[in-house]
Amino acid sequence: MPGNPATRGCDACRRQKKKVKSPTCQSHALLTEQHRSSPSNETTYSMSGFVSILEITDPRYDVFSMSHWLGDLPRRFGSNRALDTAMQGVIAAFPCLYSKTVTQRAVDAYEEALKYIRLSLRDARTNVDTGCMCALFLLHVIHDWIGKGHDADGIFDLGISYIPKSARRGTALNEFERAVRRTLSVCIVRINHAAWRLESIPA
């Protein structure tokens, strides 16, 4: 399983996902070819690239296994700038997962996503938005793939601090929104636990 996130969708959700019929190496070639091609527009490229990643079933690179709600993200592209840049960051960083080589393109995409997520979290109108929460989870995934050794200036801790606030805004959360927040909470708790263990090791 790639990265740290370990929340898995139910069997029914996983059965709904389209399966890749070609070998994993061909899937990687497809992603590379998409990058080289000239998509008709940004939305088409981002949606098709993200869907192609979700379709990979090799357990070493099966991103969908992290959380079943990832399958709902392509249709949300264009609704939130932070989420858009985070999805593009996943597309740019995914090759680093199997090549074990961090590219400048991946780093640039990570920093672009980080910029918009930080802006979203600082804005009272968007800091409890589900799109921002989805983007924060994807940033965590990219963060792990490209081997960033720090918490992006506390961005994950800042993000999780808004989860309880989002539940007090007077609007009931739907199942998708609750699932996103559960997944993000688990990821950030694991990050903090790992950091605590490192700090507790005697020098």
The pLDDT averaged over each successive group of 10 residues in the chain (203 residues) is 48 46 42 44 76 88 85 90 94 91 93 92 85 90 78 70 64 84 76 51 49
For residue 182, tell me if it sits in a domain.
Answer: yes
DSSP 65-84: GG-GGGGGSGGGTTS-HHHH
Q: What residue numbers bound the domain in which 119 lies? A: 11-200
* Dist. CA 4–CA 190, nearest whole Å: 8
Angle, helices 24-36 vs 42-54, to 10°: value is 170
For residue 1, tell me if it sits in a domain.
Answer: no
For residue 153, tell me if it sits in a domain.
Answer: yes
For residue 21, tell me if it sits in a domain.
Answer: yes
For residue 165, tell me if it sits in a domain.
Answer: yes
Angstrom CA distances, 202 to 194, 197, 198, stand at: 15, 10, 9
For residue 107, tell me if it sits in a domain.
Answer: yes
| Structure tokens belonging to residue 148 | 């960033």
Instruction: Yes or no: say if 128 and 164 are a contact pair by the CB < 8 Å rule.
Output: no
Angstrom CA distances, 137 to 104, 121, 181, stand at: 21, 13, 9
Say what the pLDDT of residue 167 is. Answer: 58
Say what the pLDDT of residue 37 is. Answer: 43
| Structure tokens belonging to residue 6 | 């370990």
- Domain count for the chain: 1
For residue 166, tell me if it sits in a domain.
Answer: yes
For the entire predicted model, the pTM comes to 0.70
Specify the 3-state DSSP secondary structure of 3.
Answer: coil
For residue 100, tell me if it sits in a domain.
Answer: yes
